[in-house]
């Protein structure tokens, strides 16, 4: 790991700043608080992005690791909601292969500061297929029905479990057995899923650590393994 990670210094104040930003209806608010924004949000996020690209771009074939245009919290004028908030109360970093269609997203690597998110309040690391199209959902479900061992072996792997202790997040799931599948299939709960991703929330100690970049590289490497299995299922390639 290079020494870029030493400059990645988020803190609990970073989350507090985002919470405050999300309450502002003055379009000039950020200009008056730019020094704090740069120190708490943008500078550490840019440093983190640079480390991720340096460490992972070669092995993550085809992935785009953005290092520009990230960390912006000012909303476009057409995105200002009815509450009048001029700024987002969250920031995220996403690396993925560029989509070939605007109707489908590829498996991704995700890091997010989500202090007000009702589902994932805090700092989140996640990966997999989050917004699956109907075609992708059908193909992953079929891959699981045919042979779920690639997923099970990965989730049982010691290195993977070091980063993500649980399997697929059951956040979005069909209430009934999807058409064409056996309701008595041993993996029916996975087959019912509408999204196929894993996720964890960091502690404040982990978030504020100078080891954050290195730990995130480690986590993303494990997520790349999951994404390749998912991509193989979508493309109809044996794992």
The span from the CA of 239 to the CA of 229, in Å, is 6
The pLDDT-based confidence of 236 (bands split at 50, 70, 90) is confident
DSSP reduced 3-state for 62:
coil
Q: Is 112 left (phi over 0), alpha (psi -120 to 50) or beta?
A: beta
**End-to-end Cα distance, the chain:** 30
**Any idea where the domains of the chain sit in the sequence?**
9-235
Q: Are residues 140 and 196 in contact, defined by beta-carbon separation less than 8 angstroms?
A: yes
Per-residue pLDDT tens over the stretch 169-199: 998 999 999 999 999 999 999 999 999 999 9
Q: Which residues are registered as beta bridge partners of 128?
A: 108, 197
Strands (DSSP E) contained in 20-97 are 91-96
Specify the pLDDT at position 82.
Answer: 62
The span from the CA of 33 to the CA of 199, in Å, is 32
The pLDDT-based confidence of 8 (bands split at 50, 70, 90) is low
pTM to 2 decimal places: 0.93
Specify the pLDDT at position 238.
Answer: 58
pLDDT at 3 exceeding the cut of 60: no
Per-residue pLDDT tens over the stretch 60-102: 999 999 999 999 999 987 777 667 899 999 999 999 999 888 8
DSSP 138-171: HHHHHHHHH--HHHHHHHH-HHHHHH--S-S--S
pLDDT at 23 exceeding the cut of 90: yes
């Amino acid at each position: 790991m290079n020494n870029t990670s030493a400059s990645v210094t988020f803190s609990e104040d970073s989350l507090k700043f985002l919470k405050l930003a999300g309450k502002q209806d003055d379009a000039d608010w950020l200009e008056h608080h730019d020094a704090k924004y740069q120190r708490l949000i943008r500078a550490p996020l840019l440093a983190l992005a640079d480390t991720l690209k340096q460490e992972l771009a070669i092995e993550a074939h085809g992935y785009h690791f953005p290092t520009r245009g990230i960390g912006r919290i000012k909303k476009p004028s057409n995105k200002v909601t009815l509450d009048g908030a001029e700024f987002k109360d969250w920031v995220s970093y996403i690396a993925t292969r560029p989509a070939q269609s605007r109707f489908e997203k590829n498996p991704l690597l995700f890091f997010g500061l989500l202090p007000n998110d009702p589902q994932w309040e805090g700092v989140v690391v996640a990966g997999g297929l989050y917004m699956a199209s109907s075609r992708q959902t059908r193909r992953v479900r079929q891959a699981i029905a045919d042979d779920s061992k690639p997923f099970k072996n990965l989730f049982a792997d010691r290195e993977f479990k070091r980063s993500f202790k649980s399997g697929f997040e059951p956040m979005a799931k069909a209430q009934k057995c999807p058409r064409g599948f056996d309701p008595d299939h041993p993996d029916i709960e996975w087959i019912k899923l509408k999204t196929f991703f894993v996720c964890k929330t960091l502690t404040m100690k982990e978030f504020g650590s100078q080891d954050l970049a290195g730990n995130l590289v480690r986590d993303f490497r494990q997520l790349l393994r999951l994404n390749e299995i998912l991509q193989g299922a979508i493309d109809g390639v044996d794992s």
